[in-house]
Chain A
Amino acid sequence: MDFFLQQLFNGLAVGGIYALVALGYTMVYGVMKLMNFAHGELFTMGAFLGLTLLGVFSFTEVLGPFGGIFVLILMVMGMVAIMGVLLERVAYRPLRNSPRLSAIVSALGASIFLQNAIMLMYGARFQVYPHGLLPNTPVSLFGVDIPLLRILLFLVSVFMMAGLYFFVQRTRIGTAIRAAAIDQDAARLMGINVDRVIQIVFIIGPALGAAAGVMVGIYYGQINFTMGWIFGLKAFTAAIIGGIGNIPGAMLGGLLLGVLETMGAAYISTAWKDAIAFGVLILILLVRPRGILGERVADKL
């Protein structure tokens, strides 16, 4: 039981990161029906920018561990959000009225471009995050010792997801995002500036992905220019498991995938971790092709 709870928290910490990245995929897909393949690279960019900023300024020493990481993550989120907006301007907006295949090719191209740009700037080797940025003393929870870092990561991702959920469900702009995801032309007839909505989605998604990048750096301690590929693929899987285009679905899918993967690694074999993740994807798609929360209500004509 102790082992199970430890693994559960391990899985939730990883799953929270998947969920944050998955939200970027699912929000862009929801509004534009486009897979932003460059999203994984924005996540990588977040991890590297975090490392660079840590090298320039000792956030945790000056502002304390929590305040320092908080400010660091906010700064990285802002920087990557700007990159997200630029990406949309350069790679996607000119293709808004082109066939969907063109936009997909552009997305793949942007992904390769960014990955290589990161490699050229930072090198191809693994880079190491400073050790002990956040306290990692074990905390006793339900009678089990859980490393504090995992709990913190999980809480941070839950906090961000809750914020996003509130924003999308309760605010005027959030409702406009949901409307544009359902029917762009009808949204225009409501007076919604769909270009602006797309821009906002390209601020929120990359910002969340960037936060996840910094969290991965802190959690695993090392980062590499290809990390966006495997994390992106897992997050993409999570978004599809939850129902692509569905925001709570991405959150659920991410957490579920993280927990299942960790459990599989713990109880079956670490080598099977990825096979289990994608096996789950296949199983869920066989039973529910639209994902767990995908499109619950059909539109009547």
Chain B
Amino acid sequence: MLSLENLVVKYGNVEALHGIDMEVAEGEIVSVLGANGAGKSTTLMGISGLVKPASGSIVFEGTPIHTLPAHKIVEMGIAQVPEGRRVFGTLTVSENLRLGAFTSRDRNRDARTRDWIFSLFPILKERRRQLAGTLSGGEQQMLAIGRALMAHPRLLLLDEPSLGLAPLIIKAIFETIREINSSGVTVVLVEQNARAALRLAHRGYVLEVGKVVLADTAESLLANPEIHSAYLGHGA
């Protein structure tokens, strides 16, 4: 469905990604792991078109998208939940969701998607008239996911959805990601919380300073002793 080939991204003179290869098949949850600065977010930004690759290619369902502007990529069916949620704080929850459907022309389908999102996150329905900036961190994360789903994506990119949230809320959000995936949306999940991410994912990639150092099924990665010591810690 999505394939990155030898993707190189530079910020000024600094090369952030030194040639990343990645494959995502339809229906999968693929987890991208790695330390801070490994290039996880940059990879997602590259897919979404917010940073342009210096070389390499990104092909989505047979179409090269690395030359397209970001708003066209959303139209093609790729939505992102950015790191730090980035909800529009001075707009209401409803307005945020409506913006998620900016590229959509089908109002009936939007209404159905909104009802689905409200069933995934009932609190958003309660708070739909509130300004997004007044929501708690967990609620903002739910809104950010809901907002991305409003674009009817076939591929959903999630950047650190667990960041700064309480364990119970993280659990709920990961449960919801599974539910979203089983409704037919392919998911790429960037996470620091490696254990939780691998338990959810089918396959995983491990990045280190802008390179893929490991690619395997989630089960083998969970069992891999190197991964254990580097990303999972020794407990549990």
Taking Cβ atoms with an 8 Å cutoff, the residues of A that contact B are 172, 175-176, 178-179, 182-183, 185-194, 295-301
Task: For B90, give its contact among A172, A190, A297, A300 (CB under 8 Å).
Answer: A297
Residues of the A chain whose Cβ atoms lie less than 8 Å from the Cβ of B79: 189
Residues of the B chain whose Cβ atoms lie less than 8 Å from the Cβ of A188: 48-50, 69-71, 74
User: B84 near A: Cβ within 8 Å?
Assistant: yes
Q: Assess the A301–B164 pair: CB atoms within 8 A.
A: yes
Question: What separation, in Å, do the CA atoms of A172 and B49 have in the docked complex?
Answer: 23
Question: What separation, in Å, do the CA atoms of A196 and B99 have in the docked complex?
Answer: 16
Residues of the A chain whose Cβ atoms lie less than 8 Å from the Cβ of B136: 300
User: B95 near A: Cβ within 8 Å?
Assistant: yes
Of B24-32, B127-135, B166-174, B187-195, the segment with at least 4 beta carbons within 8 Å of chain A is B127-135
Given the interface pairs A179-B99, A189-B82, the reply to whether A299 lies near B71 with Cβ below 8 Å is: no
Question: What separation, in Å, do the CA atoms of A188 and B102 have in the docked complex?
Answer: 10
Question: What separation, in Å, do the CA atoms of A192 and B69 have in the docked complex?
Answer: 10
A99 to chain B, nearest CB (A): 13
8 Å CB interface, B88-123 against A: 88-91, 95, 98-100, 102-103
What per-residue 1/0 map shows which CB atoms of B121-159 lie under 8 Å from chain A?
000000000010111110010000001100100000000
Q: List 19 A-B contacts (CB under 8 A).
A: A172-B98, A175-B95, A178-B90, A178-B91, A179-B91, A183-B88, A188-B69, A188-B71, A189-B74, A189-B86, A190-B74, A190-B102, A191-B103, A296-B90, A297-B134, A299-B133, A300-B89, A300-B135, A300-B137
Question: What separation, in Å, do the CA atoms of A187 and B96 have in the docked complex?
Answer: 10
Q: Assess the B70–A189 pair: CB atoms within 8 A.
A: yes
B136 nearest in chain A by CB position: A300
Residues of the A chain whose Cβ atoms lie less than 8 Å from the Cβ of B87: 186
Question: What separation, in Å, do the CA atoms of A183 and B96 have in the docked complex?
Answer: 12
Q: Assess the A298–B137 pair: CB atoms within 8 A.
A: no
B91 nearest in chain A by CB position: A178
Q: Assess the A301–B137 pair: CB atoms within 8 A.
A: yes
Q: Assess the A189–B80 pair: CB atoms within 8 A.
A: yes
A295 nearest in chain B by CB position: B90
Residues of the A chain whose Cβ atoms lie less than 8 Å from the Cβ of B86: 183, 185-186, 189
B154 to chain A, nearest CB (A): 14
Task: For B99, give its contact among A176, A194, A295 (CB under 8 Å).
Answer: A176
Pick from A179, A295, A299 the residue with the most CB of B within 10 Å.
Answer: A299
Q: Assess the B99–A175 pair: CB atoms within 8 A.
A: yes
User: B208 near A: Cβ within 8 Å?
Assistant: no
Q: Assess the B151–A193 pair: CB atoms within 8 A.
A: no
Question: What separation, in Å, do the CA atoms of A296 and B134 have in the docked complex?
Answer: 11
Given the interface pairs A185-B50, A191-B71, the reply to whether A300 lies near B151 with Cβ below 8 Å is: no
Question: What separation, in Å, do the CA atoms of A265 and B137 have in the docked complex?
Answer: 51
Given the interface pairs A189-B74, A190-B102, the reply to whether A301 lies near B50 with Cβ below 8 Å is: no
Question: What separation, in Å, do the CA atoms of A295 and B95 have in the docked complex?
Answer: 17
B145 to chain A, nearest CB (A): 13
Q: Assess the A192–B89 pair: CB atoms within 8 A.
A: no
Contacts A190-B74, A190-B151, A193-B69 supplied; 9 other A-B pairs, CB < 8 Å: A178-B90, A179-B88, A185-B50, A186-B86, A188-B48, A189-B74, A192-B99, A299-B133, A301-B137
Q: Assess the A191–B102 pair: CB atoms within 8 A.
A: yes
Q: Assess the A191–B151 pair: CB atoms within 8 A.
A: yes
Q: Assess the B133–A193 pair: CB atoms within 8 A.
A: no
Q: Assess the B82–A186 pair: CB atoms within 8 A.
A: yes
Given the interface pairs A188-B71, A190-B100, A191-B103, the reply to whether A300 lies near B91 with Cβ below 8 Å is: no
A178 nearest in chain B by CB position: B91
Question: What separation, in Å, do the CA atoms of A297 and B88 have in the docked complex?
Answer: 11
User: B75 near A: Cβ within 8 Å?
Assistant: yes
B94 to chain A, nearest CB (A): 10
Residues of the A chain whose Cβ atoms lie less than 8 Å from the Cβ of B135: 300
Question: What separation, in Å, do the CA atoms of A189 and B75 have in the docked complex?
Answer: 10
Residues of the A chain whose Cβ atoms lie less than 8 Å from the Cβ of B148: 189
Q: Assess the A189–B50 pair: CB atoms within 8 A.
A: yes
Residues of the B chain whose Cβ atoms lie less than 8 Å from the Cβ of A301: 84, 137, 164
Q: Assess the A193–B91 pair: CB atoms within 8 A.
A: no
B89 nearest in chain A by CB position: A299
Question: What separation, in Å, do the CA atoms of A190 and B96 have in the docked complex?
Answer: 10
